[in-house]
Structure 1
Amino acid sequence: MKYRTIGTGPHSRRVSVLALGAMLFGSVTDEKTSFALLDRYAEAGGNFVDTSDNYAFWTDGGQGGQSEELLGRWRRSRGAGDEIVFATKLGARPLAPGTSYTDNPEGLSAKVIREAAERSRERLGLERLDLLYAHIDDHTVPQRETVEGFGALVAEDAVGLLGVSNQAVWRVERARALAAAAGLPGYEVLQYQHSYLRSRTDVPGDLFPDGSLGHAGAELAGYLRAEPTLTLVAYSPLLKGAYTRPERLPGDYDHPGTPARLAVLRDVARETGATLNQVVLAWQIGHELPVLPLAGVSSLAQLEENLAAVDLELSAEQRARLDAAH
């Protein structure tokens, strides 16, 4: 396994370059399988596990919590200590069963931040959350309140590092500026959807109804270059299996650039003897910017394929061809 440091200061952590997504653990993926996947990931040196307090509310029409609960059972049964870094999120938990984060989210008020973080700590069985994200944006609450709410948890040692997901870059920077001005910790880890294929940014979605920044693009890359202490955790790096099953590719990838990039990707896969998925993950892991792919799996075969990508070294020429395709 290879590792990278996330965050700065006393709570910075050395994490594996391949993060394990636990979104469906304890719901779609049963406990026995989930435990086997976690065991194998840890055996291989993986130590960066990602979840959220709302996973997986859509599977039973509830409010989520199944993933955190399962991870808590696994870590207690295995006697896992602080060698495993658990990241979770808050803000997108539905306020009531049968609703969704798109129409009835808890949001990012100081009250929600405190109560949701406490619930997550109890489910996971942790005295301190290693990394806590603001899962979605909340324009109904002043950003200062959100910043101060997160900062208070860090001051109380209930949270180590802070992160942010699915917010416009200007909103992230404003929150970080507010935190810095107040002498409070700010967001240090960013989590956005990011893969080798590029989506159109003019197609609306649930998280970005105006079509902006639906996936990590040039603006976010520029932000990472300007702020070298930040790290990008890239979710859905394999586009839910679309590299091997093109019919799964979302409509916002239907543009001339997609076939061109896929052609180069296939060429590099043939040259290296690797799978398309492994080349995508290796491309992210070896990126000039600090990018950590976050990949969910439902079988040991998928996990083994992903783990093998950590040791796949792309040549400078191969990387240049992948980057230049459009």
Structure 2
Amino acid sequence: MRYRTIGTDPRTRREVSVLALGAMLFGSVTDEKTSFAVLDRYVEAGGNFIDTSDNYAFWADGGQGGQSEELLGRWRRSRGVGDEIVIATKLGARPLAPGTSYVDNAEGLSAKVIRESAERSRERLGVAKLDLLYAHIEDHEVPLQETVEGFAELVAEGTVGLLGVSNHATWRVERARALAAAAGLPGYEVLQYAHSHLRPRTDVPEALFPDGSLGHAGPDLLGYLRAEPALTLVAYSPLLKGAYTHPDRLPADFDHPGTPARLAVLREVARETGATVNQVVLAWQIGGELPIVPLAGVSSVAQLEENLAAVDLELTAEQRARLDAAH
């Protein structure tokens, strides 16, 4: 396994594996036995960066979520896992009532919610401190200042380490970070957005695509990452939910003329390296110029093994240039 540093403050920064494990469906769609087997193998391989959220997976049973955090808590206790494993979680998108969703009834990012939701996450995970806590989705009703101060209070108290942000407009990320910096408070250091080798359309309103377009790391966000080298991008859905091997799963916003060209280069490089297309995608992210940690979810140990092999896949500069240039 290889590792990279996230965060800049010596008191809170962590060394994390270059491949993160998504636990979104653990404890719900993925049963406990399988989830434990995947977690055990990931740790055995040197992985130490696991991602969850307080609202996972509310849609599986029409509830409010919490199943993934609860399963990770049981796994930690049964295996004697300590702070050597970095567990990141999120708040802000948990439905306030069963049968509702984050679209119309999210908990939001008020100071009260931040404190109370973080406490519930710590209880479910069985930890004294959340290693990395994200603002999951935007809250346009709460002033950014209140959100910034709410997260910073938990860091000051020692119940949260690093702060992150997901699925926010780039300008709101920058404004929140500027507010934190001006007040001498800790700000967001880890960004979590959808990112893969294939690119979604950018010529239509994001609202047309309810399957995640809002959270894509587009040119603005990637440019921001280049301008702020202390930030890290954790890339969710790097394998597009299996679409590289099951084209029928490709989301609607990837249906454009650029997709076949980029797929063709991916397949060329896969043939040249003897790797799978999925492995080439992950290796392209891991070894690129930007600090990107792919966050891949799996439902079996076999899928995990395929992803783990990507960590040691070295692409040549020429192969990278071709992958980057395809459009």
Q: Is 1:148 paired with 2:156?
A: no
Contact 1:261 1:325 in 2 (8 A): yes
Note the C-alpha offset of 1:207: 11
Q: Secondary structure at the match of 1:11?
A: coil
Instruction: Report if the CA contact (8 A) 2:200-2:213 is conserved.
Output: no
Is the counterpart of residue 16 in structure 1 residue 14 in structure 2? Answer: no
SS of the equivalent of 1:103 reads: helix
Q: How far apart are the structure 1 equivalents of 2:140 and 2:109?
A: 9
Change in CA separation of 1:137 and 1:207 when aligned onto 2, cut-off 3 Å:
farther
| 1:128-187 Cα deviation digits (max 9, x unpaired) | 000000000000000000000000000000100000000000000000000011111000
User: CA separation in 2, counterparts of 1:307 and 1:252?
Assistant: 28
Q: How do 1:109-258 and structure 2 match up within 5 A? A: 109-205=110-206, 214-258=215-259
Change (3 A) 1:34 1:94: same
Structure 2 stretches of 5 or more lacking a match? Answer: none
Alignment of 1:50-69 (within 5 A): 50-69=51-70
Q: Residue deviations 1:21-80, cap 9 Å, x none?
A: 000000000000000000000000000000000000000000000000000000111001
Consecutive unaligned residues of structure 1, counting only runs of 5 or more, are none
| Alignment length (residue pairs) | 325
Deviation at 1:208, TM superposition (A): 8.2
Offset of residue 202 of structure 1:
3.8
Residue by residue over 1:294-314, the C-alpha shift from the partner in whole angstroms, topping out at 9 and shown as x without a partner, is 000000110000000000000
Distance 1:213 1:105 in 2: 16
Partner in structure 2 of residue 6 of structure 1 = 6
What residue number does 1:75 align with?
Answer: 76
Q: Hey, what's the Cα distance between the residues in 1 that align with 2:146 and 2:225?
A: 25
CA contact (8 A) 1:201 1:215 kept: no
Separation in 2 of the partners of 1:174 and 1:296?
Answer: 31
Is the deviation greater in 212-221 or in 253-262? 212-221
Q: Kindly, what percent of the aligned residue pairs are identical? A: 85
Alpha-carbon distance between aligned partners in 2 of 1:205 and 1:217, rounded to the nearest angstrom: 12
Task: Give the 3 Å change call, closer, same or farther, for CA 285–176 of structure 1 in structure 2.
Answer: same
**RMSD of the TM alignment (CA)?**
1.3
Q: Is the Cα–Cα contact under 8 Å of residues 206 and 214 in structure 2 kept in the other structure?
A: no
Contact 2:193 2:235 in 1 (8 A): yes
Asked whether the 8 Å contact 1:63–1:93 carries over to 2, the reply is yes
CA contact 2:55–2:94 (8 Å) conserved in 1: yes
Secondary structure (helix, strand or coil) at the match of 2:103 reads coil
What's the offset of the Cα at 1:201? 2.3
The 1:53/1:213 distance shift into structure 2, 3 A limit, reads: closer
Q: CA offset at residue 188 of structure 1?
A: 0.1
For the residue of structure 1 that corresponds to 2:33, the secondary structure is: helix
Give every structure 1 segment of 4 or more consecutive aligned residues whose post-TM-superposition deviation is greater than 2 Å.
201-209, 211-214
Whole-Å separation in 2 of the counterparts to 1:168 and 1:207: 17
Question: 1:3/1:173 Cα in 2 relative to 1: closer, same or farther (>3 Å)?
Answer: same
CA-CA distance at 1:20 after TM superposition: 0.1
Q: Distance in 1 between matches of 2:96 and 2:253?
A: 30
The structural deviation recorded for 1:205 is: 5.0
Quick one: which amino acid aligns to residue 224 of structure 1? L
Question: Once the two structures are superposed, what CA deviation does each residue of 1:247-297 show, in whole Å capped at 9, x if it has no partner?
Answer: 100111111100000000000000000000000000000010000000000
Give SS of 2:324's match: helix
Task: Kindly provide the CA deviation profile for residues 193-227 of structure 1, in whole angstroms up to 9, marking residues without a partner as x.
Answer: 00000001244556987x98541121111101110
CA contact 1:201–1:213 (8 Å) conserved in 2: no
Q: Is residue 166–residue 215 contact of structure 2 (8 Å, CA) maintained in 1?
A: no
Q: Secondary structure at the match of 2:104?
A: coil
Normalising by structure 1, we get a TM-score of 0.98
Aligned-partner residue type, residue 302 of structure 2: A
- Which residue number in structure 2 is paired with residue 89 of structure 1? 90
Q: Distance in 2 between matches of 1:188 and 1:49?
A: 17
Shift in alpha-carbon separation, 1:160–1:238, aligned structure 2, 3 A: same
Counterpart Cα distance in 2 of 1:193 and 1:175: 20
Q: Which whole-Å CA distance do the structure 1 matches of 2:208 and 2:287 have between them? A: 28
